[in-house]
Amino acid sequence: MEDVRDIRIWPDPESLAEAAAKIFTENAVDAIAARGFFSAALSGGSTPRLFFHLLSSVYRNTINWEQVHLFWSDERAVPPDHEQSNFRIAYEELILGVPIPPENVHRIKGELDPAEAAREYEEELHRYFGDNGIPAFDLILLGVGEDGHTASLFPDVAILKEDVRHAVPSYSETMGNWRVTLTLPVLNNAWNILFLVAGKSKAGIIDKILGKGRSHLYPAGLVKPTHGRSIWLLDREAASGLDR
Ligand code: 6PG
């Protein structure tokens, strides 16, 4: 299948976050109108912070949060109030500011042993999506690390080939910590993938993934939804390598 990527470049992180919040909101409104609910998996890291804030402020009243279900694409093996917790960032910048029912927030329990947390999260996925087939998120938000990782799928790890489990433990050599991550089959079964990438430090990896036809060498480059679409939202700095 031809690899047609939808790459959208914005002048700065602020306009990037605004574009992401608009796409998230449009997807949520459409999904709720069509099926009565909207399922989204959020990524961690620092880039989504402003995006989360916009959803809980400018776009707060455009979305019917009672029908939104939030999950995570990955989580560090830390308690939910830990400074490295992906849940904590979303909780502080988004969840505290919107009327989402607590039962609609499906966090990965980073405080548990990673294997146990992965098992429990997988059960939660199956409770929500059913257990006959791969969970199909309406939208999955993803970032990209400088090594080309996405979620907690790092380069050259065995779990990149995982095609049975939907959530697994993952160890980050660079950060020296355990995590739990969605697996590639789940990412590629999403209806919408939204990559959010900002900053000069990402220009090199973005050029390698999107600019030189070597995307298959990096986990983020392996994310190609089988029936959905992926949008790459980049700020000008992250996209600067693509101009060459
Ligand atoms: C994580 C994230 C990870 C993140 C990238 C980019 O738990 O670390 O899910 O995949 O999205 O590392 O992070 P920044 O936005 O901080 O650059």
Distance (Å, rounded) from C-alpha 196 to C-alpha 219?
15
Q: Any idea where the domains of the chain sit in the sequence?
A: 6-235
DSSP H/E element including 196: strand 192-197
Ligand 1 near 201 CB (within 6 A): no
Please name which of 2, 3, 25 lies closest in space to residue 194, comparing C-alpha atoms.
25
Q: Quick one: DSSP state of residue 155?
A: T
Ligand 1 near 39 CB (within 6 A): no
Ligand 1 near 148 CB (within 6 A): no
Structural tokens at position 141: 């938000």
Fold that domain 6-235 belongs to in CATH: Rossmann fold (3.40.50)
Ligand 1 near 174 CB (within 6 A): no
Q: What is the dihedral of CA 220, 222, 226, 227, to 10 degrees?
A: 20
What is the model's pLDDT at position 1?
45
- Strand duo 38-42 + 139-142: pairing: parallel
Distance (Å, rounded) from C-alpha 101 to C-alpha 204?
40
Residue 198 makes CB contacts below 8 A (sequence gap 6+) with 13, 16, 47, 234, 235, 237, 238
State the angle between helix axes of 86-93 and 48-55 in degrees (0 to 180), rounded to the nearest 10: 40
Q: What is the dihedral of CA 190, 7, 142, 37, to 10 degrees?
A: -40
Distance (Å, rounded) from C-alpha 147 to C-alpha 117?
25
**For residue range 104-122, what is the model confidence (pLDDT) as tens digits?**
999 999 999 999 999 999 9
Show the low-confidence residues of the chain (pLDDT under 70): 1-4, 243-244
**For residue range 3-46, what is the model confidence (pLDDT) as tens digits?**
567 999 999 999 999 999 999 999 999 999 999 999 999 999 99
What is the model's pLDDT at position 3?
55
Pocket test for ligand 1, best of 149, 159, 174 (most atoms within 8 A of CB): 149
Distance (Å, rounded) from C-alpha 106 to C-alpha 111?
14
